[in-house]
Structure 1
Amino acid sequence: QGHLSLAAKARQDNDVVVMSNFVNPLQFGPKEDFATYPRDLDRDNKLAENVGVDYVFAPAGEEMYPQGYNTYVEVKGEATEKMCGRSRPGHFLGVTTVVLKLFLIAQPDRAYFGQKDAQQAIVIRKMANDLNLPIEIVTCPIVREEDGLALSSRNTYLSAAERKSALALPKALNAGKQMIEKGERDAAAVRKEILRVLESSPGVRV
């Protein structure tokens, strides 16, 4: 549903909607879950059709990266040095390389990304700006479960106990949001409250 919300927004804004469906090996580390990442192209195609997608581009790995492929795109600097950039070396090089290739293939006027992957959206916007790409990067709100957990294909990996612990994330973010809405402008104070909520939640380590 998270990805479909992007397609639905694209349908509202555009005459033609193209959706990519490609599990990109370049953005997975050697010990990550590329082999087990959920894939169901037939189901995805039906869901895409239901929300009005006109075309689905679902290339094979060898089409995107044929033998001898050796060209990569990398955003350097603060945008990629922290968080996922620090804990997943090479991840954003894989993201920017495949996204630029998809942009060149599809030639879109707009491209839609979710706020759930906020750092990814920032990196892609930086790449588009730096390379003067004539594409509007649109970020869309996070889609959540009824209990507040952000929708993600990787949620299926969580045990019942882990899923319960994961609810500390939206709880902590909401605590920070409420402080800001009440007028708090001290970022350190907001951060302290978010950390307090996380650290007091069973099963969570900061």
Structure 2
Amino acid sequence: MSETRNRRTEEIMRATLELGQEIGYAKLSIEAVAARAGAGKHTIYRRWPSKGALFLDSLLSLNEPGLDYPDTGDIIADLRTQIRAAVDLLSGPPLGPLYQALVAEAQHDPQVAAALNERFITPQADKTVARLKKAREQGQLSPDFDLDLAMAILSGPLYFNVMITRQRLTHDYVDRVIDALFAGMGVRPPA
């Protein structure tokens, strides 16, 4: 990709995010993005087949740091650190409303749903499962600790609050979810 094309792509994605924050996803249009970015509609449609695809790429282009797991040797502390960082990033302004809109769009657009799952949700879930697996291998979790079920228990309440009840997630809520997971599934006490 040429430098000019890269710069144009960045301008379009920046305009998309700015407009998304200003007017919300529902009112966002390719025409408005084109006008803000100083690009033609056809330029945008050649790169993105839909508003949802453009929005997804724009949001994921931010490459926000902090969603990788630390490994301090304490799985509970590491989960708290990473999940709190994710909650801080994805539940409040400016990204929270944009992420909520993207997940909502994914409910209606199978291409956006597949791309969101492939490019964000699955990689984050894989990181969580890998960290839990390492903790299990290190003896911090019982050998029969169900990694996939743990992932579902950790993410389900968070997505429920963000997408269904629209309640702001707090560190206290994250801590309660983690505590409930390990109380229910069992953690070996530190040696």
Which interval holds the TM-score relative to the shorter structure?
A: under 0.3
More helix by share: 2
More strand by share: 1
TM norm structure 1 = 0.26
